[in-house]
A and B are shown apart, each in its own frame.
Chain A
Amino acid sequence: MTEPYIELHAASAFSFLEGASSPESLIERAAKIEMPAMALLDRNGVYGSARFHTSAKRNDVRAHVGAEVSVSGFGPRLTPAAWLPHQHIAEPARVPLLCESREGYQNLCQLITRFKMRETTKQEGSANLADIQQYASGLICLTGGDEGPLAAALMRGGEKAGCEAVEQLVRIFGSKNVYVELQRHQEREEEWRNQTAIRIARSLRLPVLATNGVRYATAYDREILDLFTAVRNHTELDRAGRLLSVNSQRHLRTAKKMRMLFRDVPGAIENTRDLSSRLQFELSDLGYEFPRYPVPDGDTMDSFLRKRVEEGVVRRYGPKRDAALLERARKQVEHELALIAKLGFAGYFLIVWDIVDFCKKHDILIQGRGSAANSAVCYALEITAIDPVGMDLLFERFLSESRGEWPDIDLDLPSEEKREQAIQYVYRRYGERGAAICANVITYRGKSAAREVGKALGFDQDSLQRLSGLVSQFEWRGPKDTMAHSFHNAGFDLQHPRIAKYLELCMRIQDLPRHLGQHSGGMVICRGQLDRVVPLERASMPGRTVVQWDKEDCADLGIIKVDLLGLGMMAVLKDCLELIPKHYGDKVDLAQLPEDTEVYHTLQRADTVGMFQVESRAQMASLPRNKPEKFYDVVVQVAIIRPGPIVGKMMHPYMRRRQRKEEISYPHPSLEPVLKRTLGVPLFQEQLLRMAMTVANFSGAEAEELRRAVGMRRSWERMKKLEEKLREGMRANNIDAATQETIIQNISSFALYGFPESHAASFALIAYASAYFKVRYLAAFTCAILNNQPMGFYMPAVLVKDAQRHGLRIKPMDIQVSEWACTLEYEDDGSLSMRLGLGYAKGLRKQAAEMITRSRLDHGPFRSAEDLTSRVPLLNRKELTLLARVGALNTLAGIENRRDALWQVERAGKLEGPLLRYREDLLKEDAKDSPLQQMSIDERLVADYAGTGLTIGQHPMAYRRSQLRNDRILSAEELRNRRDGDYVQTAGCVIARQRPGTAKGFIFLSIEDETGIANVIVTPDLYERERLVVTRSKFILAEGPLQNQDGVIHVKATQLRTLSNQGLEVHSHDFH
């Protein structure tokens, strides 16, 4: 057999902007050229190793782990000679290190963590010689290519310096662990270095090693590397000069080619095989352990958990006064605890319980969701709020014996501040090196690609701006919705070679990593030191550290994370729980909210603006049909408007059955208990599991395996086996062939997108709570939701108008009264109204607003504009103008209207020079009154929207109503009274534009007027014709036939027109 060649020095695109191929494509290429193993050495990290490893496993390639580590002690890396013009910046040389053993890997991780964490902000950083000396064992060092220490030393001081550099490496790593690396990219200078390196290797008796310093999978990808080089150096390709590569030889070459290139250097190729066989470490041997929970003496984690759970069962089920339920719960808990003990997961539950406990003690609302809600143990530990026993949820969906993986618990927290508290608690508890956030790899997408490639190719800012504005953010990608189409629409001529190249490059870099961000809340915790498992580094947010892998990578390698997610609605509920007792005097408890018919009536009317999960247009269109009457209906409602049920064609059968338009039937009589709750239509993942268990006698674990097999496209083979087993089971149960087919169809079409019932139940609880608060405590709810923006489906302007339509009085922002947040006020008649907070003045700094409120508190109301500026000197001219413009200064003495205020603040904001400052007689102004005209209605509207994003006065459409009525244009309210099929005209302000992936290119516009919200359907054809009107117009006039079915109203537009935009900065929520 011919000698194999193994590439031991390759970098992927995870060397951010210094490599041009994904780890997956490197492996694909390796598999294609039959390379049995390969090593990935990215710059200062193992960012790509997890993917590299996973992909290598699939392709039967051995994946070696390593990294190129910047070491400041080896001097700056090679740059072109000083007499040549070039733009290289000084960077430290990088030493390529390979992990021979687990110890070596742990050392590499700690080494990288050491210097990354030495930086105080997110920085590349570099190691010093002491660092590598400390962490050298188990690592094999190569002398590197042009980024390495040998090349740098040779250029600096010739052969002598090179020899010294290699000797230094030998002193650090030991003579057995240093290889003199030779790369041949067919460059003259490099060959000169190679010849010297060979002499040095011979004199020091070190082995030589051929590598290709790979930066991309195929020669063609050199273009991407050059492009990235330009991006990395903030320059254009035309100006990058010597920064770019000389040729395209840094691809993954075949063994044959490498043997030919190195046939004059004995051992260079053979040594790659020998070294590869020395490298025993692989990522599957990570040695990760989840931390143990410290328990009191005499307890084990299992016994401690059992005690906590038993207490919880009494606390949770006691008040329900249902002996049978309690008995069932005890049995379920027993079953779960046995399994948890068997799998050794007690520590995990206790740690999550500990976090929840911390939150409860510190007044942070927290609720578990996801499949954890299937577990009675989680319910008893108060991790979740849904009773899985009472709701008959399936535990196996959460935890099963055969799966061999950790359970997944997601915790919802009110966003930002409170969530940060919880995260910081975890850091404190497990140490800076014991916990970290998962990374989030930011990749090139349509817009970012178009922008950066355009810049590199030297296109001007204006064209790029226009293009990035047009690159579609639509969910649905229609046949014409390609990047090429966007380019064309932006006014680019695709026939032009340079523009064709632009487009091509944009497409090629899609999904390649750009930089590392942090995940929204996935925390990785480790027993012992996490920095021995994966390198940690600083996140851009102070006080945060991130691991170098994202959450899929962590999951693939069996690292457990706890998701601490921010959920805006949790913060709203939390605020409501404070506002309601304070202002209404009612005591409310989220776990004990009453079933309220008024709330269900409101849901049935789809009057749901602002309510969690049921406020979207699609939800509104289905609520009047489904008519929820009890809590479980809300659970279904939350789950049904999802891609899964829609694609699986389950939504319509359920709705028809719900409306009694269709007979309820079951695929097989034995499935009735499983599907009864959802009228014979499978909607939840748990039901699919139970179906398999019922009809084919699957065990819980087998059923879960089936769900996962269906969920993964790749596991086709496994799926086939399971399907056979399923059929076999069904045959054993005497189910006929046709029914078998239906059941299998049900399972395979749905499982991919299905929603766990437990998850839906957790969300439904929040949805119901939000609905209940909105219906019963509108002022508190509106105040809370406005104080927690941005969140949800609608802009504040829509929420305000909706609240006003429901009878809430909203009062304007007032410098004498408003706080930073919106607040509640009592009216003379005892009713509650809401005062707009200063936070809604767009551009006012919180600091300045706080100074206003403090000054008011200390010294009473402001007397004049002068008084305001002298007492709150922090306010700058812009802020004063802003406050004046939106009418917040109208209650100051001497100010009658907004223009008065604008006239006065312009003066008050200006100090005279020292000579004039105290000469009031000179400064006195002749005219008492402002010479400016009062704002017209239109001007006030423009000022409101520009300054606050909303208006509390009349809806802009109300001012045009009489004109519209003359033109026979109907309001949203009037549409409700028209018959299905009537040809109508309607107009309004666009508040949302959507193109759902499931709607085949149809677009839904939600338009609002003073009477409510109407929906307009835009066909793909009409969209093509009126693209600008659809995407840009703020006020729109639509005409076409009305669809009025079951109380759901849509106008199917045949014509669209822009009503004048009046210069209003109205914002809509688009395409989500």
Chain B
Amino acid sequence: MTKAVETYACLYVKEFPAQALLRLRPELQNKACVVMEGKPPLQTVCSLNTKARLLGIERGMTQVEVDTFPKVAILTRSQQTETAAKAILLECAGAFSPRIEDRSEDVSLLCGVDIAGTRGLFGPPEILARSLLQRVRSLGFSARIAISSNFHAAICMARGQTQGGPIQVILAGDEAQALSSLPLAILGMTEVQREVFAHWGIRTLGMLANLPEKELIARMGQGVKRLRQLARGEMPHLFQPVEPAFTLEERIELDTPVELLESLLFVIGVMLDQLILRAKARILALASITITLSLEGAGSHTRIIRPALPSTDKQLWIKLLHLDLAAHPPSAAILNVVLHAEPGSTSKVQLGLFSPQLPEAGRLDVTLARVKAILGEENIGCAVLEDTHAPEPYRIGSFTVPSNESAISASEQSRTAVRQLRPPEAISVTLQESKPTHFWFRERRYTIEHAYGPWRVSGDWWNSTLWGMEQWDLVARAHDGAMLCCSMLHDLMHKEWQMAGLYD
């Protein structure tokens, strides 16, 4: 069997973020449009259409700079749209060959298609290119296509050629000639290489291709060999086809709306079997499961379950799903179920022979899930102190295995214990000369006997989240003689009095 001659088509879509957004917005097609990225207020232009470029807008300009140009439509970069658009384009290219390689860069889409042996199906390469371009255009993109028997030559040609129409076909053996006028900048070079070539006056691929190889390598090292091969269209290529993404997802349309959780669990069990089977085939486990339930009346209900360790234990998953759904039941009857699982590596916990017995990870997860179902997810974990003076200087972090050494020994001094009220309870306070004298707390009126304070704290003045408060430590007595030692705070931003803590 004779091997088909290598032939590659390269599809190049420049200004991809802009094109991806604009293809679904025909109303903007005749306007200057820019796509901004970055965090406000520091967004900069990352992509733009031809109209905007003609106005003088460049990549990297800020919003205010763009505002100085008249009538420019400003869009925000969307990775989701780009991912979707990319999938569409790759799929489109995939229609011409099963072997496609994704070489995309930040703001352009670049994909190589192995079209060897497609002549019988799609005709000669020119024809194939034309129909590919037509398909791409019908999807709303403008693109360039180059065809060559050398993969890199096709890539260079597609990226570098700006004249002579959107389709370029390089005949076998003509690569060097065809690439010779392209600018050197399209090759990925190191800073040093760029500098040396600039000094030497080497500006095009042709000029580089003509330099004697041995002498060139003697001067610039082996790294330059690759560049020279690229420039001559001789660089061999190992094709790395894109594999279809591995997604663990099962979807089922229910014949009749289901309301009972138990009957749903039966269906879920079957789906879990499949997921676990597929994961196991790759020696993986399930790290998390997202369950999406479509509900009667067009709503949907999504939950994510993530145990401490990835697992392939079906019973554990069923238990966790059951607990979660019981705590967060869907509001209507269920029409279909999608289970999406994230793969994770199988558990590698190796316990020491003599180490104390720990609860089994799976069982701990079940227990934690039970607690979570009762308390709410955000209230489970361990408190992690933060480096700030702000009033709630901690966050809830996930449980971690504690390190052996406990670095800080507790202070020897005896301290007063305080029970902090979370959240603080609002109270009403009577003031005299801006000092509290009486207050109502939990339906009792207290008279203040001693007041210490106010302790003042404030911060984050440079942010919109600025805060400021006064705290008072009080000894107060109710009518019936009951004594209360407490800490009260006065939120200066919201003008509120709150009970923050009770001293033992």
Chain B, 172-216, CB within 8 A of any chain A CB: 196, 199-202, 210-212, 214-215
A1021 CB-CB contact with B under 8 Å: no
Contacting residue for A935 out of B201, B202, B218, B464, CB 8 A: B201
Contact with B along A489-510 (1 / 0, CB 8 A): 0111100111101000000000
A795 to B32, CA, bound (A): 43
A1048 CB-CB contact with B under 8 Å: no
Contacting residue for A87 out of B211, B387, B408, CB 8 A: B387
Q: Return the chain B residue nearest A904 by Cβ.
A: B219
Chain B residues with CB under 8 Å of A242's CB are: 387-389
Contact with B along A80-102 (1 / 0, CB 8 A): 01111111000000000000000
Chain A, 49-94, CB within 8 A of any chain B CB: 81-87
B397 CB-CB contact with A under 8 Å: no
A1058 CB-CB contact with B under 8 Å: no
Are B387 and A241 in contact, with the CB atoms below 8 A?
yes
Q: Return the chain B residue nearest A934 by Cβ.
A: B201
Interface stretch of the complex, out of A245-253, A561-569, A736-744, A762-770: A245-253
Contact with A along B25-45 (1 / 0, CB 8 A): 000000000000000111000
Are B215 and A907 in contact, with the CB atoms below 8 A?
yes
Chain A residues with CB under 8 Å of B200's CB are: 899, 902-903, 932
Chain A residues with CB under 8 Å of B463's CB are: 238, 498
A223-B462, A491-B63 known; A85-B201 Cβ under 8 A:
no
Are A493 and B64 in contact, with the CB atoms below 8 A?
yes
B127 CB-CB contact with A under 8 Å: no
Chain A residues with CB under 8 Å of B458's CB are: 246-248
Chain A residues with CB under 8 Å of B455's CB are: 186-188
Contact with A along B54-69 (1 / 0, CB 8 A): 0000001111110000
Are B62 and A463 in contact, with the CB atoms below 8 A?
yes
A244-B459, A906-B196 known; A491-B62 Cβ under 8 A:
yes
Question: Distance in Å from the Cβ of A611 to the closest Cβ of chain B?
Answer: 38
Q: Return the chain A residue nearest B408 by Cβ.
A: A83
A488-B64, A881-B199 known; A501-B462 Cβ under 8 A:
yes
Are A927 and B212 in contact, with the CB atoms below 8 A?
yes
Contacting residue for A926 out of B63, B214, B459, CB 8 A: B214
A83 to B409, CA, bound (A): 9
B119 CB-CB contact with A under 8 Å: no
Interface size class of A (residues with CB under 8 A): 35 or more
Contact with B along A900-942 (1 / 0, CB 8 A): 0011001100100000000000010111000111011001000
A381 to B383, CA, bound (A): 80
Chain B residues with CB under 8 Å of A86's CB are: 387
Contact with B along A731-774 (1 / 0, CB 8 A): 00000000000000000000000000000000000000000000
Contacting residue for B218 out of A223, A497, A498, A910, CB 8 A: A910
Q: Which of B41, B453, B454 has the most CB of A within 10 A?
A: B41
Are B464 and A497 in contact, with the CB atoms below 8 A?
yes
A187 to B386, CA, bound (A): 19
Q: Which of B42, B458, B468 has the most CB of A within 10 A?
A: B42
A553 CB-CB contact with B under 8 Å: no
Chain B residues with CB under 8 Å of A463's CB are: 42, 62
Contacting residue for A899 out of B42, B201, B462, CB 8 A: B201
Contact with A along B373-393 (1 / 0, CB 8 A): 000000000000111110000
Interface secondary structure of A, over-half rule: loop
Chain B residues with CB under 8 Å of A363's CB are: none
Are B461 and A491 in contact, with the CB atoms below 8 A?
no
A932 to B459, CA, bound (A): 65
A580 to B447, CA, bound (A): 99
Question: Distance in Å from the Cβ of A399 to the closest Cβ of chain B?
Answer: 54
Chain B residues with CB under 8 Å of A903's CB are: 200, 219
A84 to B407, CA, bound (A): 12
Are B408 and A460 in contact, with the CB atoms below 8 A?
no
Question: Distance in Å from the Cβ of B137 to the closest Cβ of chain A?
Answer: 36
Are A907 and B218 in contact, with the CB atoms below 8 A?
yes
Are B461 and A907 in contact, with the CB atoms below 8 A?
no
A884 to B210, CA, bound (A): 22
Q: Return the chain A residue nearest B61 by Cβ.
A: A491
Are B388 and A241 in contact, with the CB atoms below 8 A?
yes
Q: Return the chain B residue nearest A906 by Cβ.
A: B219
Are A237 and B462 in contact, with the CB atoms below 8 A?
yes
Chain A residues with CB under 8 Å of B464's CB are: 497
A241-B387, A881-B199 known; A925-B215 Cβ under 8 A:
yes
Contacting residue for A186 out of B41, B61, B411, B454, CB 8 A: B454
Are B219 and A493 in contact, with the CB atoms below 8 A?
no
A419 CB-CB contact with B under 8 Å: no
Question: Distance in Å from the Cβ of A921 to the closest Cβ of chain B?
Answer: 13
Are A885 and B63 in contact, with the CB atoms below 8 A?
no
Chain A residues with CB under 8 Å of B220's CB are: 906
Chain A residues with CB under 8 Å of B453's CB are: 186
A478 CB-CB contact with B under 8 Å: no
Question: Distance in Å from the Cβ of A237 to the closest Cβ of chain B?
Answer: 5
Q: Return the chain A residue nearest B220 by Cβ.
A: A906
Q: Which of A158, A459, A903, A939 has the most CB of B within 10 A?
A: A903
Chain B residues with CB under 8 Å of A821's CB are: none
A460-B42, A925-B214 known; A493-B388 Cβ under 8 A:
no
Are B215 and A158 in contact, with the CB atoms below 8 A?
no
Are B461 and A223 in contact, with the CB atoms below 8 A?
yes
B413 CB-CB contact with A under 8 Å: yes
A902 to B197, CA, bound (A): 10
A457 CB-CB contact with B under 8 Å: yes
Are B41 and A498 in contact, with the CB atoms below 8 A?
yes
Chain B residues with CB under 8 Å of A926's CB are: 212, 214-215
A185 to B114, CA, bound (A): 74
B328 CB-CB contact with A under 8 Å: no
Chain A residues with CB under 8 Å of B73's CB are: none
Q: Return the chain A residue nearest B386 by Cβ.
A: A85
A336 CB-CB contact with B under 8 Å: no
Chain B residues with CB under 8 Å of A246's CB are: 389, 456-459
A226 CB-CB contact with B under 8 Å: yes
Q: Return the chain A residue nearest B196 by Cβ.
A: A906
Q: Return the chain B residue nearest A83 by Cβ.
A: B408
Are A933 and B454 in contact, with the CB atoms below 8 A?
no
Chain A residues with CB under 8 Å of B201's CB are: 899, 932-933, 935-936, 939
Question: Distance in Å from the Cβ of B236 to the closest Cβ of chain A?
Answer: 25
A931 to B471, CA, bound (A): 81
Question: Distance in Å from the Cβ of B194 to the closest Cβ of chain A?
Answer: 13
Chain B, 428-473, CB within 8 A of any chain A CB: 452-459, 461-464, 468, 471, 473
Q: Return the chain A residue nearest B452 by Cβ.
A: A191
A241 to B456, CA, bound (A): 17
Chain A, 201-237, CB within 8 A of any chain B CB: 222-223, 226, 237
A85-B387, A925-B214 known; A907-B219 Cβ under 8 A:
yes
A61 to B241, CA, bound (A): 83
Chain A, 465-514, CB within 8 A of any chain B CB: 488, 490-493, 496-499, 501
A153 to B473, CA, bound (A): 26
Question: Distance in Å from the Cβ of A506 to the closest Cβ of chain B?
Answer: 13
Contacting residue for A244 out of B42, B215, B389, B407, CB 8 A: B389
Question: Distance in Å from the Cβ of A257 to the closest Cβ of chain B?
Answer: 13
A158-B413, A186-B454, A249-B456 known; A885-B387 Cβ under 8 A:
no
A581 to B454, CA, bound (A): 84
A903 to B219, CA, bound (A): 8
Chain A residues with CB under 8 Å of B211's CB are: 931
Are A247 and B457 in contact, with the CB atoms below 8 A?
yes
Chain A residues with CB under 8 Å of B62's CB are: 463, 490-492
A-B pairs with lowest CB-CB distance, top 4? A241-B387, A491-B62, A906-B219, A85-B387
16 new A-B contacts, CB < 8 A, other than A83-B385, A158-B413, are A81-B411, A83-B408, A186-B455, A226-B461, A242-B388, A242-B389, A459-B42, A460-B42, A491-B65, A902-B199, A902-B200, A903-B219, A906-B196, A927-B215, A931-B210, A931-B215
9 contacts between A and B (CB under 8 A): A83-B408, A241-B387, A241-B389, A247-B457, A491-B63, A493-B41, A493-B64, A910-B219, A931-B210
